[in-house]
Structure 1
Amino acid sequence: MVQGVDSGPDLNGRTVGADAQALAQAALDLHTQRSSIQLTSEAVTTAAVRLIHGADGASVALLAGNGTVRSNVSTDALAAAMQGIQDDVGEGPTRQSLRTRETVLVCDLRGETRWTRFTSAAVDNTEARSVLALALCAGTDVLGALTVHSRAIGAFSAHAVAGATALAAHCALALMTSTHEEQFARALASRDAIGQAKGMIMERYNIDAQQAFAMLSTISQNTNTPVKVLAERLTSRR
């Protein structure tokens, strides 16, 4: 239980104290679980729908190293459709949040003029009317964006936006942790594969470890193939 928090009612009939407790528990769950990026993204979207007042659905768009969107995780078909439209037209609230690192609020898509192609497609093809997009940032890195939508007009109050902002900060840290853990696991797997490949070369050609790695490096340079890929190919043939 979180103590010292005002429990006065908000416009939606909930209490600020209850919201703070729910957010604290969600943050604890996100930080203590050890999951893949995919599972963490799913947990983030589930928490967003549960905790952000007015949200009917949510999605997480993750960025690749080159700045393009590499994956989308959605709670429902409407959230997936909203992200799909932005992928198709290259604009929209999620894209703007990713680009500017700012929170983007749309109170009524029918009167939105910032992204004409997205707005037209979203209004014509979906029931979404309110959208809230928040960049997921860890330090100077933009990992992606959390976007929630509602079928109601003006669904997200200032209180809801404040809660969503706090949740997004915790979500970003959880995703950063999952990213680092997956990178570490891949690095360990690559090191193991290279070690096994070196052992195979040493045994076959009766050379030492340094010479075996030099042979791998030479082949890598000549074929423009990363050493770890060569090692994985070699060990997979055993």
Structure 2
Amino acid sequence: MTESKSLHLEVAEVMSEVAAALQSPMDLDETLELITRSAADTIPGIIEASISITTKDREIKTLAPTGLLVTRADHLQYELGEGPCLDAALDDPIVAVNDLAADPRWPDFGPKAAALGFGSQVAFQFRAEPHVRGALNLYALEPNSIDQDSVQLGSMFAGQIAVAMGWARQDQTMTEALATRNVIGQAVGIVMERYQVDSDRAFAFLVRLSQSRNTKLRTVATALVDQSNANSQR
């Protein structure tokens, strides 16, 4: 079996493992760690990986680093305001550098990254709707380690991060919606029992109370449920 064919079989197995993790109930941190570790283990030349995530105020932080050195390299970029992961997270789809020590685009970061032991780096932008944006960062020990295979495989792993974060956001939204429905249902039951009315009238009562207080319906319902629980414990 050729080296190229063996690599593609290994990558296919890793991708299947990550895809399975995405299809089951997931812990986002564990899933992101699986993706970065899989990228570092399977992409030729790459030894470390991390994820940079931007916040609404354009600050940036690192998730799922595979080691302490990659965390330091990421933070150097944030502190200096320059570097491949910043450029990818904020602007460019793919940013590759084959010689960190000598690349003129990042005169402050490059030599410091090289001093940490990194020779080259590539970063891939990803987006997860509605507002998540960031980059997958891949680091290599040696200069000139980023080739076409690195770019193709890295792009695939970046896509999986976007899927994971998009699904996690969807799961969070669904969880919040279910919680809202449950607390409103409890509040409707309390009003029905307290005032001897049917469910429609009880719900209409909560809506009017929400409007008169200029407060969200869930907040009104939660307050009513908490008050009822407190009274039952006395």
Tell me the TM-score normalized by structure 1. Answer: 0.76
Q: Which residue is 1:214 aligned to?
A: 208
Listed as ranges, the gaps of 5+ residues in structure 2 are 230-234
For the aligned residue pairs, the C-alpha RMSD in angstroms reads 3.1
Find the aligned partners of 1:218 and 1:232 in 2 and give their Cα distance: 16
Following superposition, the deviation at residue 45 of structure 1 comes to 0.6
Matches within 5 A, 1:36-51: 36-51=27-42
Q: Which residue is 1:3 aligned to?
A: none
Residues 1:138 and 1:214: Cα distance change in structure 2 (over 3 Å) = same
Following superposition, the deviation at residue 214 of structure 1 comes to 2.9
Question: Partner amino acid for 1:181?
Answer: D
Which one of 7, 32, 35 corresponds to residue 19 of structure 1? 7
Give 3-state SS (helix, strand or coil) of 1:56's partner. Answer: strand
Matches within 5 A, 1:171-190: 171-190=161-180
Tell whether the 8 Å contact from 2:180 to 2:218 is kept in structure 1 after alignment. yes
Following superposition, the deviation at residue 36 of structure 1 comes to 2.7
Residues 1:147 and 1:172: Cα distance change in structure 2 (over 3 Å) = same
Identity %: 23
Number of positions where the alignment pairs a residue of Structure 1 with one of Structure 2: 221
Give 3-state SS (helix, strand or coil) of 1:57's partner. Answer: strand
Q: Which residue is 1:168 aligned to?
A: 158
Residues 1:47 and 1:202: Cα distance change in structure 2 (over 3 Å) = same
Following superposition, the deviation at residue 48 of structure 1 comes to 0.7
Q: Deviations over 1:89-148 (max 9, x none)?
A: 333211211223421111122112223443354345x22221111112468976421101
Give 3-state SS (helix, strand or coil) of 2:64's partner. Answer: strand
Residues 1:193 and 1:102: Cα distance change in structure 2 (over 3 Å) = same
Tell me the TM-score normalized by structure 2. Answer: 0.77
Larger Rg: 2
Find the aligned partners of 1:63 and 1:101 in 2 and give their Cα distance: 14
